[in-house]
Amino acid sequence: MTSPASSEQRAPTVHPNSTFMRRHPAHLLAMGFGSGLPRIMPGTFGTLFGWLSFVVLTWRFPDIFTPWAWAFFISIGFIVGIWACNVTGRNLGVSDHGSMVWDEIIAIWLVMLFVMPASLGMQFAAFLIFRLFDMIKPPPIRQIERRFKDGFGVMIDDLIAAFLTLLVIAIWMRL
């Protein structure tokens, strides 16, 4: 008898669809509740979803989504994201498939935690800087991405991109 996870393993999927995403809670989370399903720029869509969800949740529920609560949610989201991306990558047959955007969501939440409350222009600048780091993967991001695989590797490189984004914003603000 096989376990549910092993019964879902299959040949690599070119691009997953909503049926695959709904098949397992890990897929739903790793694919950013569908924000990673677009075939073009899924990471950008995942980051936009993360930015929007951060702003809406903070605005709508300010007593719940305090900075300390966000720090907690980001920490738990990182840990759960390792599991979700590991399961989803294994089931897709690709350890870091582009449709897995939970890493972008957690990373942009971290960036917004330190950027907010800021003007829409500053938030957009933070978004663009993060996307630039995430796409170009300058050192040390590329080296870390090559060294660590599976769920942890998926999550950690975007966390480093978030830290580099915050460093650039801090330097920019000092100038």
Res 5: pLDDT = 46
**What per-residue string of b and e applies to 13-37 under the rule 16 or more CB within 10 Å gives b?**
eeebeeebbeebebbbbbbbbbbbb
Give the domain ranges of the chain: 17-174
How many beta carbons lie within 10 A of that of residue 135, not counting itself?
A: 11
Place of tokens 């720090």: 71
Residue 71 has pLDDT above 70, yes or no: yes
Residue 33 gets the label, from left (phi > 0), alpha (psi -120 to 50) or beta, of: left
Residue 40 has pLDDT above 90, yes or no: yes
Contact 87, 95 (CB under 8 A): no
Planar angle of CA 53, 119, 43, nearest 5 degrees: 40
Largest pairwise CA distance in the chain? 63
Q: Tell me what the mean pLDDT of segment 56-82 comes to.
A: 97
Those residues whose C-beta lies under 8 Å from the C-beta of residue 124, and which sit 6 or more positions away, are none
Express each pLDDT in 48-59 by its tens digit.
Answer: 999 999 999 999
Q: Tell me what the mean pLDDT of segment 158-170 comes to.
A: 97
Express each pLDDT in 77-109 by its tens digit.
Answer: 999 999 999 999 999 998 889 999 999 999 999
By percentage, how much of the chain surpasses pLDDT 70? 92
pTM of the model: 0.90
How many beta carbons lie within 10 A of that of residue 130, not counting itself?
A: 28
Residue 68 has pLDDT above 90, yes or no: yes
